[in-house]
Structure 1
Amino acid sequence: MKRIYVVGTADTKGEELAYLADAIATTGATVARVDVGTRGAVVPVDVEAREVASWHPDGTSAVLVTNDRGTAVTAMGIAFARFIASRHDVAGVVGIGGGGGTSIVTAGMRTLALGVPKLMVSTLASGDTAPYVDVSDIVMMPSITDMAGLNRISRVVLHNAAQAVAGMAARAARIDEGKPSIGLTMFGVTTPCVTAIAETLRDDYDCMVFHATGTGGRTMEKLADSGLLAGVIDITTTEVCDMHFGGVLPATPDRFGAIARTRLPYVGSVGALDMVNFWAPSTIPEKYSSRLFYEHNPNVTLMRTTSEECRRIGEWIGEKLSQCEGPVRFLTPERGVSALDIEGGAFWDPEADAALFQAIERTIRPTATRRVERLPLHINDPAFAEAAVRAFREVLG
């Protein structure tokens, strides 16, 4: 039987935790009350903090035997993430918390597959929620008042949270229904290419396009790790530039990691590897003051990558793709990698592009299923999109 997990620190938020759980139960949903506090619970719970703490890699003592609150909160977050990921009866998760509780509960929520209802009632929900939500589908609900005992406001907020999570759990749609899904990466400067690919494949696939803004690539790879993609057409790998050279839309070092772990059919390219992204000109590091820039808009400034930077980028990508044992095709467009990198364009630099292509070809380890292909085309040429579609159909077998 599926259950809605109601999670909070039952030592400091016990009254609120009990009220929320009871409100969910009145909807007919089955509830599991989980304590993630580091002191004794003040209300009855179904899963005690000690049980959750036992899931820490270093055991219960790493969580509960410490006088440092920060250490305990971090450790409990690790333990709860492992605990909730091990459950096979999760209909949804709702958490309550201030700073510590929000950190603990959302650490676990982020391990769950997309589509599983996740609602966090938090005192931090009206601020910067990025560290808590990351690339997951967590819904953050402001608690309005602090959680220091029930009051006329908190009762309304918790009642609404109960109705919301119960409704989501009762009507949770399957994210893997219908046509098989594929992930595609796009930037403004690769839009013609990716749009053409998606239009060609849309009759056969649910084409999910991700904006290559750092979170976009990570979200796509989370879907891959969750088993929700049938393949990837990764035309726009620009996030790697920002990761290496201090841009504001970076990948993480795990970029391409999901492709290696899942062995998904993969077609990639060098889209927008000619640029590093910064905000307004005043935000650009002084060390780059003499570089070539392009004002994309008043808030976004692009910096052209040099030949040496392109070499480093190419080697890094080649090494990462060499770890992918599934079918891989990597296409390099010799006449430019973005709308700006075209003959007569602001970032046209054949020498830098050549350094990029050569580094990828020199570094990637070719096999019968892993190949790099050069094409005498611009990345936004319709013929390049057609080549990418052919390559994708080929890697799918």
Structure 2
Amino acid sequence: MAVVLVGTLDTKGEEFAFARDVIEAQGVDVHVVDVGVLGAPEFEPDTTAAEAAAAAGTTLDALREGGDRGEAMTAMGEGAAAVVTDLYESGALSGVLGLGGSGNTSIATTAMRALPVGVPKVMVSTMASGDTEPYVGSTDIAMLYSVADIEGLNQLSRRVISNAALATVGMVSNEADVTVEDRPTVAVTMFGVTTPCVQAAREYLEDAGYETIVFHATGTGGRAMEGLIRQGVVDGVLDVTTTEWADELVGGVLAAGPERLDAAGETGVPQVVSTGALDMVNFGPRESVPEEFEGRRFHVHNPQVTLMRTTPAECAELGEIVATKLNAATGPTALVLPLGGVSMLDVEGEDFYDPEADAALFDALREHLDPSVELIEVDTDINDEAFARTAAEQLDEYMRAAGVGP
């Protein structure tokens, strides 16, 4: 059992030595990885900065001579990621702790993101009170705001650093008795406006003997799911809610990136996909919506979330994108269309009811989908129990046929 410290010992050596001592006082081993580029470390690390640089395919001298801080931080992040991955795979890493400002936060969290979900990861950072998405990404990093800058030891920094160190010790020393059932696992995507569908599908799948993991389709949720599919964590995918592609195409705030809908197809994992919430693009408060969209149809979901209806032209493009993604799949794949509406808001009497836009979406999917993808059309809206059951039954059939069912 060992906690790995990742930090710049040339500028934060005093603080890292303090964290090391707190952890070792609890009877836990420490392995220190130095990622400092500017100068000599204030104490001898277990993995030197030169070794971290070499793990990134470069040298410390080259980084210093290059004089490019951004390039150096990128390289040391890659090197630290390679080092901690090797330590984890050899059984020499139980958790990771980092301390720093924006620079070391970037380096240390790059290393943390390379580790599997479930490995304790704690980052004390001056950046933790702002937008942490660039650092956390879709992993389980716990970020603790340093309050003051991490520059020397004082009554405040000692308390914050010791709390973080003890929290990390607690995580690595007290593994919870979590019973892991030997059941095939299904990843499911959900948004508030597709919740009834997911709840009904989950009930069917769990009654059939599956474990389900539901991902909130908020950009990071989609990325997290794609990453776990690639890691082999899930055996099947019920991708009911593909709304993140609407944000990716139109410019909303919950995009999951252009690789969304790739992982299951590339790995051959059985998947059943639908068009959940492709009727909307997400923004923040109403006043934050870009001026270019004035005149569009909006729904204020709450003071922090504004939804914008996708147009027929956008829906047609979304249909082509989704079809292209599914056509590339190497495993069993079905597309299930809810002809009565793709969300709670896309039914008669609700704000986003738009048969023309839905028709553009469905027509584009029909036009571009290859025969290798099974097309199933259901004459209900997406939240009807009949639709949920159809999608869940199809995935169950695929998984049993592939030998990964219960």
Please give the alpha-carbon distance, in whole angstroms, between the structure 1 residues aligned to 2:341 and 2:383.
9
Task: Provide the rounded CA distance (Å) in 1 between the counterparts of 2:12 and 2:241.
Answer: 45
Unaligned runs of 5+ in 2: 401-406
| Shift in Å, 1:95 | 0.9
Cα separation, partners in 2 of 1:91 and 1:385, compared to 1, 3 Å:
same
Question: How far 1:320 sits from its partner (Å)?
Answer: 1.6
Report the alpha carbon displacement of residue 267 of structure 1 after superposing the two structures with TM. Answer: 1.2
Work out the CA distance in 1 between the residues paired with 2:312 and 2:364.
10
Instruction: Give 1:197's aligned residue.
Output: 201
SS in 2 for 1:54: helix
Q: 3-state SS of the aligned residue for 1:331?
A: strand
2: CA distance, partners of 1:292 / 1:339:
16
- Does residue 186 (structure 1) correspond to residue 186 (structure 2)? The answer is no
Give 1:194 deviation, angstroms. Answer: 0.8
Contact 2:49 2:60 in 1 (8 A): no
Alpha carbons 1:50, 1:60 under 8 Å: kept: yes
CA contact (8 A) 2:220 2:256 kept: yes
Report the AA paired with residue 14 of structure 1: G
Query: Partner of 1:322 in structure 2?
Result: 327
Deviation of 1:200 after TM superposition, in Å, equals: 1.9
> In 2, distance between residues paired with 1:24 and 1:276?
46
Distance in 1, matches of 2:341 and 2:156, equals: 58
Match of 2:310 among 299, 305, 311: 305
Deviation at 1:59, TM superposition (A): 5.7
- The alpha carbon displacement at 1:338 in A equals 1.2
1:23 counterpart residue number: 22
Partner of 1:152: 155
CA contact (8 A) 1:269 1:330 kept: yes
> Please, which of 393, 396, 400 is the counterpart of residue 393 of structure 1?
396
* 1:257-280 deviations in Å (ceiling 9; x for gaps): 322343222111001111112233
2:117 is aligned, of 114, 117, 123, to 114
Relative to the length of structure 1, the TM-score reads 0.92
- 1:85 maps to 85
Measured at CA, do residues 395 and 300 of structure 1 come closer, stay the same or move farther in structure 2, by a change above 3 Å? same
Distance in 2 (alpha carbons) for counterparts of 1:78 and 1:111: 9
- How many Å apart are 1:161 and its aligned residue? 2.2
Over 3 Å counting, the alpha-carbon distance change for 1:226 and 1:170 in structure 2 is farther
State the match for 1:140 in structure 2: 143
- In the other structure, the counterpart of 1:170 is 173
> For residue 256 of structure 2, what is the aligned residue in structure 1?
251
The structural deviation recorded for 1:211 is: 1.9
Q: Aligned partners of 1:173, 1:64: CA distance in 2, in Å?
A: 44
1:241 Cα deviation from its structure 2 partner:
0.4
CA-CA distance at 1:24 after TM superposition: 1.6
Indicate how the Cα distance of structure 1 residues 57 and 269 shifts in structure 2: closer, same or farther if over 3 A, else same: farther
Q: Which runs of 5+ in 1 are unaligned?
A: none
CA deviations over 1:358-385 (Å, ceiling 9, x no partner)? 2223323332xx3222222221111101
Q: Is the 8 A contact 2:84 2:111 kept in 1?
A: yes
Kindly provide the amino acid, as one letter, of the partner of residue 86 in structure 1. D
Seen in structure 2, the aligned counterparts of structure 1 residues 130 and 378 have a Cα distance that, compared at 3 Å, is same
How far apart are the structure 1 equivalents of 2:64 and 2:55? 12
Partner of 2:403: none
Question: Match of 2:45?
Answer: 45
Cα deviation for residue 21 of structure 1 reads: 1.7
Partner residue of 1:14? 13
1:4-33 Cα offsets, whole Å, 9 max, x none, are 211110111112212212322232222211
* TM-score under structure 2 length normalisation: 0.90
**Secondary structure of 1:233's match?**
strand
Query: How far apart, in 2, do the equivalents of 1:175 and 1:329 lie?
Result: 34
Residue 277 of structure 1 aligns to which amino acid in structure 2?
Answer: N
* Alignment partners' CA distance in 2, 1:82 and 1:175: 29
The partner residue of 2:285 within 260, 266, 280 is 280
CA contact (8 A) 2:33 2:80 kept: no
Change (3 A) 1:255 1:173: farther
Q: Which residue of 2 aligns with 1:32?
A: 31
Query: Is 1:214 matched with 2:216?
Result: no
2:355 to 350, 362, 365: 350
Contact 2:266/2:328 (CA < 8 Å) preserved in 1? no
State how many pairs are aligned: 394
Identify the residue that residue 67 of structure 2 maps to in structure 1.
Answer: 67
Question: Do the aligned partners of 1:222 and 1:258 also contact (CA within 8 Å) in 2?
Answer: yes
Q: Could you say which residue in structure 2 is the equivalent of 1:130?
A: 133
Contact 1:277–1:303 under 8 Å retained in 2:
yes
Please give the secondary structure, in 2, of the residue aligned with 1:202. helix
- Identify which range, 211-220 or 240-249, moves more after superposition: 211-220
RMSD of aligned Cα (Å): 2.1
1:291 pairs with 2:324: no
Determine helix, strand or coil for the equivalent of 2:273.
Answer: strand
Letter in 2 for 1:118: K
Indicate the larger mover: 13-22 or 386-395.
13-22
Question: Structure 1 residue 331 and structure 2 residue 336: aligned?
Answer: yes
Determine the structure 2 residue equivalent to 1:238. 243
Tell me, in whole angstroms, the C-alpha distance in 2 between the residues paired with 1:298 and 1:42.
49
Distance 1:52 1:359, change over 3 A: same
